[in-house]
Amino acid sequence: MAKTISLTVNGKAYSGEAEPRTLLVHFLRDALRLTGTHVGCVVGRCGACTVLWNGTAVKSCMVFAVQAEGDEIVTVEGLAQDQRLHPLQEAFWKNDAVECGYCTPGMLMSAYGLLSKRKKPTDEQIKKAISGNLCRCTGYSNIVAAIKEAAENFTQ
Amino acid sequence: MDFPINPPIGERVRRKETQRFVTGTGRYVDDLLPPGTLHVSFVRSSCAHAKIKSIDVEAARSMPGVRAVFTGKDIARHVKPLRVGGSSVLRPVTLYPLAVDKIRYFGEPLAVVVADNRYLAEDAAEMVSVDYDLLPEVIDPEAAMEPGAPLVHEDAGSNVVYKYHFATDGIDKVFEDADVVVKERIRSHRITACPIEPRAYLASYNKEEDSLTMWSATANPHSLRGRIADILSFPEGKIRVIAPDVGGSFGVKIQTYQEELLLPYLSRQFGRPVKWCETRVEHMRNGRHGRDQIHYIEMALKKDGTMLGIKDKIIADMGSTYTVDHSIQAAALYMTGVYQIQNYAVDALGISTNKTTHGSLRGIGKADASYILERLVDIVARQLQLDPIDIRTKNFIPADAFPYRNATGALYDSGQYHLAMKRTAEIAGYGQLRKEQAELRKKGIYRGIGVALVMEPTSSSRIHATGGYASCRLRIDPSGSATVFSSMGEQGQGHETTLAQIVASQTGIPFDKITVIHGDTLPTPYGFGTGSSRSSVVLMPSAWVAGKLMRDKILGIAARQLGVVPEKLEIGDGKVFAKENKERSIALMEIVRTAYGAIHLLPENMEPGLEVTGYFINPNIDYTPDDKGRMNTFSSYPYAAVIAVVDVDVETGMITIVRYCTVHDCGNMINPQIVDTQQQGSIMQGIGAALYEELRYGDDGQLLSSTFMDYRLPSVEEVPELELEHIVTPNPFTPLGAKGAGETGMLGPPPALCNAVEDALSPLGVKIRETPLTPDRILDLIEKAQAKLAHG
């Protein structure tokens, strides 16, 4: 019983077919072909699929596509503007906060969600914001350092 | 070897590959969706040991969107089995992509659904019903060894499928004459790697060309290509395997999997692309598992703590369909670790059980060895009332004894164990820590200090398995940029950066103009998988060799044009110039043009073009045992000293890591930033293994921890302050002096944290022989120790 879903992703209007049970992450990846958002566990535990849903960081495997009808989504593809990396992306690169890159989009979106709401987060707030994002490569320290550095340069 | 290590080798260069990862433009297998792709879901066994009586696929077959359902029997008619084992120590068995008659572990694939999308495929898989004839399970490896135990593989004739024995002369006499003999049973528990990207495969058969392209999240593309050719009886030349971006491996993706071999067959059947991305639950149940060894180990010593000999019996749980034995062998060869112990005996047994197949996992076998040995040393120290640092430094192999041949024939390249331990103690402030510990104990705070020095044999070289060499092809393109074709894929190690650093250093081509191609069997030279920390030990040197060949060629061309011998030429600033007269120069670009287009200007007998292949062979490898059974199958020996400080809450069983100090030696570092990040991640994986992660099976063979809810990976909340330093003792046998940096970090936490926790709880008489150190286990141990004290 597929239905057409219309929503805004990274400021652009999209529509595509989804069944009522289609997960938002699968809709973004398979129907809209925005594959920067990754799938790691599909049970809300690893955070690789994190996106912003109406301004709040959520795991898009825990949302049905139909729930996001008419809403605003931001994915990792929406961070860089006019070919210029977002300060978070720059900081992740500079601080070597990335190895295999699989968790990275989710990490970035959790961090982006935090920085959208708090200009100067504490270390504790940074850790809390990404505590639902698992990374198996880096050991997290460089990720925390990157988010901290980006917060210094972040204006929205 | 000489070490002309020029920049940008050794610099903290930003990684090239990171740019696409932060923009979401990395390309992983699951990101690919060619038109007409069919999707696959597997039907998996709900029991651990059974005969398959019948499989009813009719309901599934008639569901909308379902193209086909195949059982193991259907598939076995069309593909050849993989033969595994069959060496002098490992019994042979056959392996099909799907279980045919018999189920050997919970979650084993037994049928496959092909459908129009993944949701429909999963729906249909649930409609397949299987009738089993249940067999008694063998879950405990020691019970599996008993005569009359149910057999996992009837054709192997026994559950003891691997046997290895080694002993030095006169070992029993050493134990008879010793002042002290300490015996223990210590077990390393079962864990798995858990890369955040699960396994993913996409096979695409092209009917017109009669060719097959396989995209796989594999760490071993060339080997996979050969295996596909073998089981499908299809020409290898018509198969291309591509490992695009791979989201971590840590050993688990280096092996070839049943599902992986089935997809090419299905794609050929349908003439369409066929894709499968596993779920996390499937990954926990079917991805290879690691560790899980029981050691009955004893050490003979003099009263003063001088170590004389070790005897060990290893019982390794290999799970159901064993495919590799090197976890056991790696442990068996290195149980003497970093100590001067030349008397050693081991009996190593590999046991089949009804659990998931055992395989590679970061630190395979070597982590079991270092964990169990470093636990034993601590237990010995406590018994002899010696300081854990003192007993270690008393017995370490001294720096001037390298290269050092251990009892089993392994040749350790280099090391400064005393220095590493001393420096770690300085960083930690060891003396002060002991004083604080005594003060805190008076206040009822259980603080523990754990010491370990772990050594990691790297770059394993095994006949027909890991080959012992690597290669890189290097081309300076007609436009003046360079392309490196690497024989090894990457899963986060940063090869696109480090290989470019090496080539830039050798050839003078700017780092930014060098592109690294990897993971694709079409353009890259043959090579083995990324594992055993071998990239920096053999792959990077192969790029160094290619770079040197290219450099020689460039200088040869310049020599003829400038009339100066190559030895007197230098490369720099985009030019080749005479060392004694920089004015006498030729642009690098001019040499490129000559090599491709003006070949009459090339020196006599020089081939046109600028394309070379560099090979590097692991040095010092003795593949076959000598008359005493000694061999050396690893080429380099990085290590790390650790001092961990923990507080244990005896009310809740919670462990807090107060400090984690470590000094690491992986020889020369091609990119110290990449090494640091690897170390941090590797240590966190070790902390997970020590404290949180366990694959636990029920008595009926059901895997009880198969999601991230019950198999707990460390999150950012668990990261302690890491105090990390390096010392550099270059490997004298490789041109870059590197020893491998991927795994040593993971080896430290299990012994260091267990030693620290036992130290913390020593006033309560707690002994730790089982892990992980979850709060419930700690509380249980405290309770048992208290009860024992109360009953005298």
Is residue A49 included in any domain, yes or no? yes
Q: Which CATH number fits the domain that encloses residue A67?
A: 3.10.20.30
User: How far A98 CA sits from the closest chain B CA (Å)?
Assistant: 6
Binning pLDDT at 50, 70 and 90, where does residue B86 land?
A: low
Is residue B187 included in any domain, yes or no? no
Q: Is the pLDDT of residue B178 over 80?
A: yes
User: What pLDDT was estimated at residue A111?
Assistant: 98
Is residue A71 included in any domain, yes or no? yes
Q: Please report residues of A whose CB lies closer than 8 A to that of B282.
A: none
Residue A65 and residue A13 share a domain: yes
Is residue B444 included in any domain, yes or no? yes
Q: Considering only the beta carbons, identify the residue of A45, A80, A102 that sits closest to B23.
A: A80
Domains contained in chain A, number: 2
Per residue in B20-41, pLDDT (tens digit) is 999 999 999 999 999 999 999 9
Of A76, A102, A129, the domain-final residue: A76
Nearest to B297 by CA among B367, B363, B344: B344
Number of Cβ pairs < 8 A linking chain A and chain B: 176
Chain B residue with the nearest C-alpha to that of A137? B681
User: How far A74 CA sits from the closest chain B CA (Å)?
Assistant: 12
B586: containing domain: 18-25+469-617
Chain B residue with the nearest C-alpha to that of A23? B119
Residue A63 and residue A33 share a domain: yes
Q: Which CATH number fits the domain that encloses residue B658?
A: 3.30.365.10
Residue B439 and residue B296 share a domain: yes
Residue A95 and residue A50 share a domain: no
Q: Which CATH number fits the domain that encloses residue B231?
A: 3.90.1170.50
Residue B492 and residue B414 share a domain: no
Q: Which CATH number fits the domain that encloses residue A139?
A: 1.10.150.120
Is residue A31 included in any domain, yes or no? yes
Domains contained in chain B, number: 3
Residue B415 and residue B296 share a domain: yes
Answer yes or no: are the C-beta atoms of B40 and B275 closer than 8 Å.
yes
- Residue B388: phi and psi, rounded to 5, are -65, -25
Q: Is the pLDDT of residue B445 over 90?
A: yes
Q: Is the pLDDT of residue B1 over 60?
A: no
Residue B457 and residue B477 share a domain: no
Residue A109 and residue A71 share a domain: no
User: What pLDDT was estimated at residue B504?
Assistant: 97
Q: Is the pLDDT of residue B324 over 80?
A: no
CB contact under 8 A, B18 and A130: no
Q: Considering only the beta carbons, identify the residue of B15, B679, B719 that sits closest to A140.
A: B719
What residues 640-699 of chain B have any CB closer than 8 A to a CB of chain A?
A: 673-674, 676-685
User: What pLDDT was estimated at residue B114?
Assistant: 98
Answer yes or no: are the C-beta atoms of B107 and B283 closer than 8 Å.
no
Binning pLDDT at 50, 70 and 90, where does residue B94 land?
A: confident
CA distance B373 to B110: 40
CB contact under 8 A, A38 and B196: yes
User: What pLDDT was estimated at residue B466?
Assistant: 75
To the nearest whole number, what is the mean pLDDT of chain B?
95
Is residue B570 included in any domain, yes or no? yes
Chain B residue with the nearest C-alpha to that of A85? B23
Q: How many CB atoms lie within 10 A of CB B777?
A: 16
User: Tokens 């006498």 identify what position?
Assistant: B584
Q: What is the mean predicted confidence (pLDDT) over B308-323?
A: 91
Answer yes or no: are the C-beta atoms of A33 and A49 closer than 8 Å.
no
CB-neighbour burial class of residue B385 (10 A; exposed 0-12, middle 13-18, buried 19+)? exposed
CA distance B321 to B94: 9
Is residue A67 included in any domain, yes or no? yes
CB contact under 8 A, B18 and A101: yes
Chain A residue with the nearest C-alpha to that of B680? A139
Q: What is the mean predicted confidence (pLDDT) over B736-759?
A: 97
Chain B residue with the nearest C-alpha to that of A130? B716
Is residue B151 included in any domain, yes or no? no
CA distance B355 to B342: 36
CB-neighbour burial class of residue B133 (10 A; exposed 0-12, middle 13-18, buried 19+)? exposed
Residue B723 and residue B695 share a domain: yes
User: How far B21 CA sits from the closest chain A CA (Å)?
Assistant: 5
Binning pLDDT at 50, 70 and 90, where does residue B68 land?
A: very high
Per residue in B101-139, pLDDT (tens digit) is 999 999 999 999 999 999 999 999 999 999 999 999 999
What residues 88-147 of chain B have any CB closer than 8 A to a CB of chain A?
A: 117-119
Chain A residue with the nearest C-alpha to that of B195? A136
Task: Work out whether the CA dihedral B367, B368, B371, B376 comes out positive or negative.
Answer: negative
User: What pLDDT was estimated at residue B2?
Assistant: 52
User: How far A70 CA sits from the closest chain B CA (Å)?
Assistant: 24
Of A50, A76, A102, the domain-final residue: A76
Q: Is the pLDDT of residue A155 over 70?
A: no
User: What pLDDT was estimated at residue B535?
Assistant: 94
User: What pLDDT was estimated at residue B523?
Assistant: 97
Per residue in A108-134, pLDDT (tens digit) is 999 999 999 998 999 999 999 999 999
Q: Considering only the beta carbons, identify the residue of A33, A100, A130 that sits closest to B247.
A: A100
Instruction: Tell me if chain A has a CB within 8 Å of the CB of B3.
Output: no
Nearest to B86 by CA among B626, B465, B467, B530: B465
Binning pLDDT at 50, 70 and 90, where does residue B446 land?
A: very high
Q: What percent of chain B has pLDDT over 70?
A: 98
Residue B342 and residue B276 share a domain: no
Per residue in B608-657, pLDDT (tens digit) is 999 999 999 998 898 889 999 999 999 999 999 999 999 999 999 999 99
At position B431, the amino acid (one-letter code) is G
The b/e string for B320-354 (b: 16+ C-beta within 10 A; e otherwise) is bbbbbbbbbbbbbbbbbbbbbbebbbbbbbbbbbb
Q: Is the pLDDT of residue B377 over 90?
A: yes
CB contact under 8 A, A99 and B682: no
Of A31, A52, A76, the domain-final residue: A76
Q: Please report residues of B whose CB lies closer than 8 A to that of A102.
A: 26, 28, 195-197, 247-248
Is residue B162 included in any domain, yes or no? no
Q: Would you say the pTM of this structure is higher than 0.90?
A: yes
Per residue in B515-525, pLDDT (tens digit) is 999 999 999 99
Instruction: Tell me if chain A has a CB within 8 Å of the CB of B282.
Output: no
Q: Considering only the beta carbons, identify the residue of B19, B196, B715 that sits closest to A102.
A: B196
User: What pLDDT was estimated at residue B89?
Assistant: 67
Nearest-5° Cα angle at B686, B731 to B256: 80
CA distance A107 to B735: 38
Q: In what order do the strands lie in the sheet with B639-648?
A: B446-455, B639-648, B655-665, B722-726
Q: Please report residues of A whose CB lies closer than 8 A to that of B280.
A: 40-43, 45-46
Angle, helices A141-153/A104-117, rounded to nearest 10 degrees? 40
Residue A94 and residue A69 share a domain: no
Is residue A82 included in any domain, yes or no? no
Residue A138 and residue A109 share a domain: yes
Q: Considering only the beta carbons, identify the residue of B198, B277, B491 that sits closest to A100.
A: B491
Residue B123 and residue B93 share a domain: yes
Per residue in A12-63, pLDDT (tens digit) is 999 999 999 999 999 999 999 999 999 999 999 999 999 999 999 999 999 9
Per residue in B194-249, pLDDT (tens digit) is 999 999 999 999 999 999 999 999 999 999 999 999 999 999 999 999 999 999 99
Q: Is the pLDDT of residue B170 over 80?
A: yes
CA distance B265 to A37: 30
Residue A49 and residue A98 share a domain: no
Residue B579 and residue B505 share a domain: yes
Per residue in B698-721, pLDDT (tens digit) is 999 999 999 999 999 999 999 998
Residue B258 and residue B401 share a domain: no
Is residue A81 included in any domain, yes or no? no
Binning pLDDT at 50, 70 and 90, where does residue B373 land?
A: very high
Residue A121 and residue A66 share a domain: no
Residue A53 and residue A21 share a domain: yes
What is the ipTM metric for this complex?
A: 0.98
Instruction: Tell me if chain A has a CB within 8 Å of the CB of B17.
Output: yes
User: What pLDDT was estimated at residue B462?
Assistant: 79
Residue B718 and residue B664 share a domain: yes
Instruction: Quote the tokens at residue B521.
Output: 């069997």
A65: containing domain: 3-76
Binning pLDDT at 50, 70 and 90, where does residue B461 land?
A: confident
Answer yes or no: are the C-beta atoms of B41 and B66 closer than 8 Å.
no
User: How far B39 CA sits from the closest chain A CA (Å)?
Assistant: 13
Q: Is the pLDDT of residue B321 over 80?
A: no
Residue B742 and residue B604 share a domain: no
DSSP A23: B
In residues, how long is chain A? 156
Is residue A27 included in any domain, yes or no? yes
Instruction: Quote the tokens at residue B288.
Output: 């290879």
CA distance B5 to B520: 29
Angle, helices B540-562/B588-597, rounded to nearest 10 degrees? 90
Of B268, B286, B304, the domain-final residue: B286
User: What pLDDT was estimated at residue B88?
Assistant: 65
